[in-house]
Chains A and B, each alone.
With several copies, the nearest count.
Chain A
Amino acid sequence: MSILTILGFGPTGWGGLLLVALLTTLAVTLVSLVIGAVIGTALAAAKLSGSRLLRLLGGTYSTVFRGVPELLVIYLVYFGGSSAVTAIGGAFGYEGFLGLPSFLAGALAVGLISGAYQGEVYRGAFLAIVPGEIEAARAIGMNKAMRLRRILVPQVLRFALPGLGNVWQLSLKDSALVSVTGLAEIMRTSQVAAGSTRQYFLFYIVGGVLFLLLTSVSGQIFEAAEKRTGRSLAAGIGRN
């Protein structure tokens, strides 16, 4: 069987599955980015807050999720998460199991890790804001919600973008470990294909190339986005 047939989209080719796997990896990472954004925001808020308890909790969270191997986090969420969901279901009178599907468990696990890193990114971005700009907003009578929406959030996002790019790349690669939960993302599909065809080298290379494709394309997207939002930072000449 030629390499083209094996990798092709024909009945004996693995191309179709690999494409689905690519999309699955992308989807896991995207969902984990969103989950991580929610956690990261809360984490940054906790770490910046005046309450010592909250700061301690925030610190503990980010230490734990940055200090424990990703593989362990994934296992813990995959198994522990199901028990938790089942227990919650039981409390509401649901009999039997409420499984956490491997996609959700994987995205949640990667999201929990991503959240720990995003928390640091947002905290740094927040501290980069010039306090005078917030004060200027207060001085024209903006209320708290408006200041948050119009001044704080846009600036945090702008400063956070480069850091978020790094977290995204990290999550993309962490998502390969979700393969241990049986989710058919790039890593697992490559392994299954490698095992079935006994073309180990070929499929691991293909898997690696698919990841490189994802990281380099998304890297370029982040770079372009940074360039766009960085317009207001650069010492160049403004557009318009």
Chain B
Amino acid sequence: MTRPLRLSVQGIRKSFGGLEVLKGISLDARDGDVISILGASGSGKSTFLRCINLLETPDAGTVTVDGETIEMTVKRGHAVARSQAQVDRIRSELGMVFQSFNLWSHMTILDNVIEGPMRVLKRPRAECVAEAEALLEKVGISDKRGHFPAHLSGGQQQRAAIARALAMRPKVMLFDEPTSALDPELVGEVLRVMRALAEEGMTMLVVTHEMSFARDVSNRVVFLDKGLVAQEGVPAEMFGAGAEPRFRQFIGHFGA
């Protein structure tokens, strides 16, 4: 039994000026996959994630979400999406959690969470509020719903950001180093929430430096190096004795 394909990325390329950051990357995520993306700083992990929901426009390649392929065209020598409306719809199906949370600072936590469902999905307010409260409960910060982001700790802000992304009922969640802006003390809070999501069967792509998460929670690990997928496999293999030398070196003492 193959699980349905949630996200399929084929041959993504991206250059900044003269620098070719992604040289053709492909990746499929099926329902319930938790894929960890590892790689050295500057290897293009963030760029890859941002190309998926078109926060960066890829120079080449296709992105297909739940069977729908984002249509691209070329305008004045640059690749652009054919329809902004389609991009907006696809984006609303991909939940993104940023390294620096990026909560809207002028809204309370509850307003942050209901903003998307209400304004983008145009669902009735009462329903959004009920669901938002359930989500805040789930990530463990329901007592903070009336506070502004500036009044929360980093870990609480990141959990709010996860709740905000979940409120859109995304088909795939994209995490870009969700814990690396946090003090070591606070990392645990966020990882616990992500672990719970994974157990519930949420499809997730996670750029992370948390090797324990990659090894223990994800069912697939992708290692990027020099703009290409250098190695890919299940954690047991990758972290086991059979790992490639480049990757071994990367994981360093953790692998030891």
Contact = CB atoms under 8 A, between A and B. Distances in A.
Contact flag (A, B; Cβ within 8 A): yes
B147 A135 contact: no
B247 interface: no
Q: A interface, how many residues as a size bin?
A: 20 to 34
Contact of B89 (A141, A234, A237): A141
Q: B interface, how many residues as a size bin?
A: 35 or more
Interface string A226-239: 00010111111111
Contacts, number: 97
A150 B102 contact: no
Nearest to B100: A132
Interface in B42-97: 53, 55, 84-85, 87-96
Nearest to A137: B104
Interface stretch (B1-9, B113-121, B133-141, B220-228): B113-121
Interface string B185-213: 00000000000000000000000000000
A234 B150 contact: yes
Interface of A: 130, 132-133, 135-144, 146, 150-151, 154-155, 158, 229, 231-240
Q: Which 7 A-B pairs have the closest CB atoms?
A: A240-B146, A141-B92, A238-B147, A132-B102, A232-B148, A136-B102, A141-B91
Interface of B: 53, 55, 84-85, 87-96, 98, 100-108, 115-116, 119-120, 144-151, 161, 164-165, 168
18 contacts: A132-B101, A133-B104, A135-B98, A136-B96, A136-B161, A139-B94, A140-B115, A140-B165, A141-B88, A141-B93, A143-B85, A151-B106, A155-B105, A232-B106, A233-B105, A236-B151, A238-B146, A239-B146
Given A150-B119, A231-B148, A238-B151, 13 more contacts: A132-B98, A135-B55, A136-B103, A136-B161, A139-B94, A140-B95, A141-B168, A142-B88, A144-B84, A155-B104, A232-B148, A235-B151, A240-B145
